[in-house]
Amino acid sequence: MDLVRIYQCLCDRTRLRLLNLLLHGPLCVCHFQAILREPQVKISKHLGYLRRNGLVEAERQSNWMIYRLPAKQAPGLKANLACLQDCLREDRGFREDLERLRKVRGGLGADCPTCVRKPGAVCAG
């Protein structure tokens, strides 16, 4: 895996926010939308970018696309993701995203994504 490619993926704030969430487990697109509060096209395009460059894997589950970090990570990727997670811990904005992640995971509140409100939904997020 090319290091430059990895850094190109990391040099956008939206993508860092996506990865920040993925570092805590797989997620579907509507989760990202609810937590980041960004338009669908923006999220979808950045996830596509990460996917094309091998930083993220995707799998369809009925209506929803589940995104996750790759099961096998090249050494460079693994090292940089660990470093990233370490750096993000100190940033307020990213911590707020993680709080919303917890809320969304737990309950069925107002900003709960569609997939978990559907009866019988199998979203792995």
Q: Which residues bind its own copies (CB under 8 A)?
A: 3-4, 7-8, 10-13, 16, 75-76, 79-80, 82-84, 86-88, 90-91
Give, in order, the Cα–Cα distances in Å from 105 to each of 86, 109, 120.
23, 10, 16
6 token code pair: 């990895």
Nearer to its own copies, 90 or 108 (CB): 90
> Which of 26, 27, 23 minimizes the C-alpha distance to 77?
23
Closer residue to DNA, CB minimum distance, 7 or 89:
7
Residue with Cβ nearer its own copies (91 or 99): 91
Residue partners of 100: CB distance under 8 A and separation at least 6: 34, 35, 111
Q: Which residues bind DNA (CB under 7 A)?
A: 8, 11-12, 14-15, 28-30, 33, 38-42, 44-49, 58, 60, 62-65, 114-115, 118, 120
